[in-house]
Amino acid sequence: MIFRQLFDSESSTYTYLLADEHTREALLIDPVREQVERDLNLLKELELKLTYVLDTHVHADHVTAAGLLRQRTGARAVASHKGAPCVDVKVRHGDVLQMGEVKVEVLETPGHTDDSVSFRVGKRVFTGDALLVRSAGRTDFQNGNAGQLFDSITGVLFRLPDDTEVYPGHDYKGHTQSSIAEEKRYNARAANREREAFVQLMGNLNLPPPKKLKEAVPANLACGVISPTQTSSPQA
Ligand SMILES: [Fe+2]
């Protein structure tokens, strides 16, 4: 399998490219709209055909490239059945997407948002913002729920084999990957913490809202192809 981890420095978002080296079919997980030319160019250089674009959830901190990539390549947009209505394939826990020999298993991991999913591909799991390296996504907007996130992390992700490689949706400290074993031991929010203590901790983070919240959420509900005039709120 061809595998690349790509980074958008403005939003600290990781985008992942996975492809079957024989059929040359490719998928992108969490592509960023501002990086669409970079990603299309890489696909071209590697002689890959984009088949699927997967979003782990409706993002609040960047606009997805799913809609643009769909227009430019004919790829099908994939996300949770609880997420953006614009996608072509709405997935649920246990669903499998097959692309050549690349098999993507869907794990519903809500809590950061109610539509958050993780994608498991062989020994790798792409966790979006549910599980970050030594951290976990905030739960204070978009129907976030700290108790639900605790259940997703400990009841779904931490039950994967210890040597499963964890690839997060973001990192702000320069980490690129982790493993389930490492996160069970060292995750600063979830490791060795009871559910109630986790809920309390997440409720006291007092983080400022993401800079792009008002623009990104409505745009992402339309797969990122909404025009700027449509995104501005009437009160703004
Ligand atoms: Fe997020």
Q: Give yes or no: 62 in active site.
A: yes
- Confidence at residue 226, expressed as pLDDT on a 0 to 100 scale: 77
| 93 annotated active-site | no
Residue 116 is classified by DSSP as -
Q: Which of 8, 39, 59, 171 is catalytic?
A: 59
**Whole-prediction pTM:** 0.95
Q: Tell me if residue 22 is catalytic.
A: no
The yes-or-no answer on residue 163 being catalytic is no
What CA–CA distance (Å, rounded) separates 35 from 11? Answer: 11
Per-residue pLDDT of the chain (236 residues; tens, 9 = 90+): 999 999 999 999 999 999 999 999 999 999 999 999 999 999 999 999 999 999 999 999 999 999 999 999 999 999 999 999 999 999 999 999 999 999 999 999 999 999 999 999 999 999 999 999 999 999 998 899 999 999 999 999 999 999 999 999 999 999 999 999 999 999 999 999 999 999 999 999 999 998 899 999 999 999 999 755 554 443 33
pLDDT at 236: 34
Distance CA 111, CA 12 (A): 20
From the candidates 8, 30, 115, 170, which is the catalytic residue?
Answer: 170
pLDDT reported for residue 230: 52
Check residue 233 and give its pLDDT. Answer: 42
Rounded to the nearest whole angstrom, what is the distance from the C-alpha of residue 129 to the centroid of ligand 1? 5
Pairing of strands 165-168, 124-128: parallel
C-alpha 142 – ligand 1 centre gap (Å): 9
Give the pLDDT confidence score for residue 227 in this predicted structure. 59
64 CA from centroid of ligand 1 (Å): 11
- 3-state class of 204 per DSSP? coil
Sheet holding 25-29, edge to edge: 2-8, 13-19, 25-29, 49-54, 76-80, 89-91
Sheet holding 96-99, edge to edge: 96-99, 102-108, 117-121, 124-128, 165-168, 178-179
